[in-house]
């Protein structure tokens, strides 16, 4: 009898929460509509029942949009795997490489890093510090040298010396900078020319605090470098990263890993359940 | 691009209004819905949007019909006025101490653009006032943060004070200030490590640096692409540090930058500068009116007034 009461207030809160987590207005409304129907369908009455229906449904929705994709990292069957990192300035590319390189090194892989951000002050040294921490090799050129040629040297070395995985760090760039996006395409072409099946992964690094602009980022980076997945960083803060739901719906790009801090161990495989729960925990528990 | 859809929708709402002689409540509701949507898509925080829309609606309902303006024009005018008012009316210059050095401390989340902005500001002061700044490297956490600041210093020919990564940042600042005094530097910049506003230990560190240095200016650096969370960040840093101003970076991208409105609304602190690129010269004074235009596509809306 008091269902409608719970229902309306609850869904108002839910819409606000969704918007507040950056999923975007359209997505928020669409999700909330779908959920109303689902809650009615399942005849959920208490707030607790509604909550569990919602989490379940959302995980399903997230999964459906990515039907046929998987969020594992694809490795080459033989020869070096190349993983190219792209993204806007300061998103967390270099740090994520540092974390991921350590992860694979721990698994016994022979790992190489390529310092193809030759532009930003201190970028090469930053990657070199990570290389030392992880105990992996780094290929670097001079500051301001051509990033594609550093990449070429690194791929050559990876092939010649039987490295298992090469991580390519690139300079941050805003997606509307045509020249810089062309430079990125060139880096990618150099890789493919040397190893036709490479890069096996092109990971877009996305800062979880980003708002609606993340959709443009995903669109344009996908267009120029055929992004294969997302790493969502800085989820240890108060931002929820809801924009990845819209990205998933529109562009079918899946999150593969999340960053939860600045330490080498602060990297986790993406878990849709945990993520969705994180988006709504205030509505559910509050 | 997403913007076009947004402006078009607003235009449609305005055209509907324009056909009529006077605004009915339902017309107004429809228009305010579109404005609300546009603001949300521009990443203005949703509670800020709620307040803003209410203010505009109240004013529009109470407004007398002005000579020579039809209802559509009048609403656009009210929106524009309220946006500009929230955003701060005029550009606010950098604080300056009566006696040298003027101390400027940076704060913000990881990767926002603090170190880059230190370099840009130092260069600007050097070029415009012949200033002799010193930059203190107080980020001992991020790998190669000190080298980054040193390379920036080399590029703009400004000295950097550093004690490596094994000394406490508060102590680094103490010694850096002594160095600035000895060398008669007129400006001192303190580059701090990025941190989350919920990280109590690191926020305490900033409070301790503030207590020691008594900065004339504490600039919160925020990425213009930030979404709804901008209010939490701004509030968190302002509560702890009582910031004196904001720098909004990465506005050379295609973001609407609604975070600007959120930050202003929750802190009331002026946005002083905007970052417009990665080069050391890519820093501009903040203009509230231009920012309002950008957020709502008000430029387009105002040309609509002329057509209406
Ligand atoms: N709290 C938190 N900070 C992170 C995370 N990932 C990276 N950072 C921090 O974010 C800042 C920027 O990270 P970088 O790895 O340098 O980002 P980038 O994308 O390589 O930056 P550019 O090369 O300048 O474009 C650094 O201070 C990192 O320590 C994360 O998951 N959580
Ligand atoms: N396009 C663009 N990039 C910018 C701007 N300001 C800073 N950046 C870039 O953003 C990235 C991060 O800048 P930093 O100055 O290292 O940021 P930070 O806040 O010092 O980062 P942490 O010390 O890791 O917290 C770098 O790639 C900068 O080149 C800007 O206005 N426009
Ligand atoms: Mg980097
Ligand atoms: Mg820095």
Average pLDDT over residues A198-219: 98
Instruction: Summarize pLDDT for B137-181 with one digit per residue, the tens.
Output: 999 999 999 999 999 999 999 999 999 999 999 999 999 999 999
Residue A32 is predicted with a pLDDT of 87
Tokens of B90: 């005029």
B290 — contact with chain A (CB < 8 Å)? no
Cβ–ligand 1 distance for A241 under 6 Å, the answer no
Q: What is the mean pLDDT of chain B?
A: 90
With cut-offs at 50, 70 and 90, classify the pLDDT of residue B77: confident
| pLDDT attached to residue A5 | 56
Q: Write the CB contacts of B185 (distance below 8 Å, at least 6 apart in sequence).
A: B100, B101, B132, B133, B134
The per-residue pLDDT for range A31-49, each reduced to its tens digit, is 888 888 887 887 777 777 7
Residue B59 has pLDDT above 90, yes or no: no
Q: Using CA coordinates, name the residue in chain B closest to A233.
A: B110
As for the ipTM of the complex, it is 0.95
pLDDT at B22 over 60: yes
Cα separation, B98 vs B212, in Å, equals 18
- Residues in chain B closer than 8 A to A209 (CB atoms): 109, 223, 226-227, 229-230, 233
Write out residues with Cβ below 6 Å of ligand 2: A 89-90, 120, 172, 174; B 108, 110-116, 139, 142, 145, 193-194, 221, 249-250, 252, 275-278, 282
Above 80 in pLDDT, residue B301? no
| Gap from B18 CA to chain A (nearest CA, Å) | 26
| pLDDT for A13 | 85
What's the maximum distance between 2 C-alpha atoms anywhere in chain A? 73
Backbone dihedral angles phi then psi of residue A278, each to the nearest 5 degrees: -60, -35
Our CA dihedral for B33, B39, B42, B45, rounded to 10 degrees, sits at -120
pLDDT computed for residue B2 by the predictor: 44
Residue B45 scores a pLDDT above 80:
yes
Comparing B308 with B105, the larger pLDDT belongs to B105
The answer to whether residue B24 scores a pLDDT higher than 50 is: yes
pLDDT at A154 over 50: yes
Local confidence band at A202 (pLDDT 50, 70, 90 cut-offs): very high
Average pLDDT for B270-296: 93
* Residue pLDDT, tens place only, A234-274: 999 999 999 999 998 889 899 999 999 999 999 999 988 88
pLDDT, mean of residues A70-92: 93
CB pairs under 8 A between A and B: 145
Confidence of residue B6 (pLDDT cuts 50, 70, 90): low
Given a cut of 50, whether residue B89 has pLDDT beyond it is yes
pTM of the model: 0.94
pLDDT band with cut points at 50, 70 and 90 for residue B187: very high
Identify which of A260, A205, A266, A265 has the alpha carbon closest to the alpha carbon of residue A234.
Answer: A260
pLDDT of residue B299: 60
The number of CA neighbours under 13 Å toward the Cβ of A198 is 30
Nearest neighbour of A209 by CB, restricted to B119, B227, B250 = B227
d(CA B75, CA B72) in angstroms, rounded, equals 5
Indicate the range of A4-13, B16-25, B110-119 predicted with least confidence: B16-25
Residues in chain B closer than 8 A to A216 (CB atoms): 1-2, 254-255
B164 touches chain A (CB under 8 A): no
Facing B278 at nearest CB: one of A19, A89, A126: A89
Output b/e per residue, B278-295; b: 16+ Cβ within 10 A: bebebbbebbbbebbbbb
pLDDT of B300 strictly over 90: no
Instruction: Give the confidence band of A188 by pLDDT, cuts at 50, 70, 90.
Output: very high
Q: Which two tokens stand for residue B175?
A: 């010694």
pLDDT at B282 over 70: yes
pLDDT digits (tens, 9 = 90+) for B246-274: 999 999 999 999 999 999 999 999 999 99
For chain B, percent of residues with pLDDT exceeding 70: 86
- Alpha helical stretches, state H, A42-121: 47-65, 93-106
């Amino acid at each position: 009898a008091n269902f409608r009461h719970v229902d309306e207030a609850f869904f108002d809160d839910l819409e606000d929460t969704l918007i507040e987590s950056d999923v975007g207005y359209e997505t928020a409304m669409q999700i909330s509509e779908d959920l109303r129907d689902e809650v009615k369908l399942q005849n959920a009455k208490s707030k607790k029942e509604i909550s569990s229906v919602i989490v379940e449904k959302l995980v399903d929705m997230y999964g459906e949009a990515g039907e046929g994709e998987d969020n594992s990292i694809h490795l080459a069957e033989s020869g070096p795997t190349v993983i190219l990192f792209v993204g806007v300035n300061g998103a967390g590319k270099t740090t994520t490489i540092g974390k991921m390189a350590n992860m694979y090194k721990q698994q016994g892989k022979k790992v190489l890093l390529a310092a193809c951000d030759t532009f930003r002050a201190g970028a090469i040294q930053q990657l070199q510090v990570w290389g030392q921490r992880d105990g992996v090799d780094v290929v670097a050129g001079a500051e301001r040298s051509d990033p594609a040629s550093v990449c070429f040297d690194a791929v050559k070395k990876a092939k010649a010396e039987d490295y298992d995985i090469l991580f390519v760090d690139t300079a941050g760039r805003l997606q509307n900078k045509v020249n810089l996006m062309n430079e990125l395409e060139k880096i990618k072409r150099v890789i493919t020319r040397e190893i036709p099946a490479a890069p096996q992964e092109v990971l877009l690094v996305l800062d979880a605090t980003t708002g609606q602009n993340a959709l443009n980022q995903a669109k344009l980076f996908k267009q120029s470098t055929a992004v294969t997945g997302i790493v969502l960083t800085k989820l240890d803060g108060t931002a929820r990263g809801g924009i990845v739901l819209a990205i998933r719906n529109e562009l079918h790009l899946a999150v593969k890993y999340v960053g939860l801090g600045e330490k080498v161990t602060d990297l986790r495989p993406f878990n849709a359940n945990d993520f969705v729960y994180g988006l709504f925990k205030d509505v559910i528990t509050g | 691009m997403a913007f076009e859809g947004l402006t078009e929708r607003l235009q449609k709402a305005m055209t509907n209004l324009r056909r009529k002689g006077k605004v009915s409540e339902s017309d107004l509701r429809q228009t305010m819905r579109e404005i609300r949507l546009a603001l949300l898509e521009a990443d203005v925080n949703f509670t800020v949007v709620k307040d803003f829309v209410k203010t505009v609606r109240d004013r529009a309902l109470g407004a007398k019909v002005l000579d020579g303006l039809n209802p559509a024009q009048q609403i656009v005018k009210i929106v524009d006025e309220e946006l500009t008012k929230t955003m701060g009316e005029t550009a606010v210059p950098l604080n300056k101490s009566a006696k040298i050095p003027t101390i400027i401390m940076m704060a913000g989340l990881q990767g926002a653009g603090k170190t880059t902005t230190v370099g840009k500001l130092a260069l600007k002061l050097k070029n415009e006032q012949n200033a002799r700044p010193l930059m203190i490297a107080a980020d001992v956490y991020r790998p190669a943060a000190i080298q980054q600041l040193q390379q920036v210093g080399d590029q703009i020919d400004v000295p950097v004070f550093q004690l490596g990564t094994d000394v406490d940042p508060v102590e680094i600042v103490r010694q850096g200030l002594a160095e600035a005094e000895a060398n008669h530097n007129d400006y001192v910049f303190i580059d701090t490590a990025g941190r989350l506003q919920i990280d109590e230990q690191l926020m305490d560190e900033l409070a301790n640096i503030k207590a020691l240095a008594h900065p004339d200016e504490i600039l919160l650096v925020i990425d213009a692409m930030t979404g709804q969370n901008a209010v939490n960040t701004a509030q968190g840093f302002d509560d702890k540090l009582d910031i004196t101003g904001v720098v909004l970076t990465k506005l050379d991208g295609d973001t609407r930058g609604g975070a600007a409105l959120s930050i202003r609304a929750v802190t009331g602190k002026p946005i002083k500068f905007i970052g417009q690129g990665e080069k050391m010269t890519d820093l501009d004074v903040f203009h509230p009116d231009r920012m309002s235009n950008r957020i709502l596509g008000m430029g387009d809306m105002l040309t609509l007034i002329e057509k209406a």
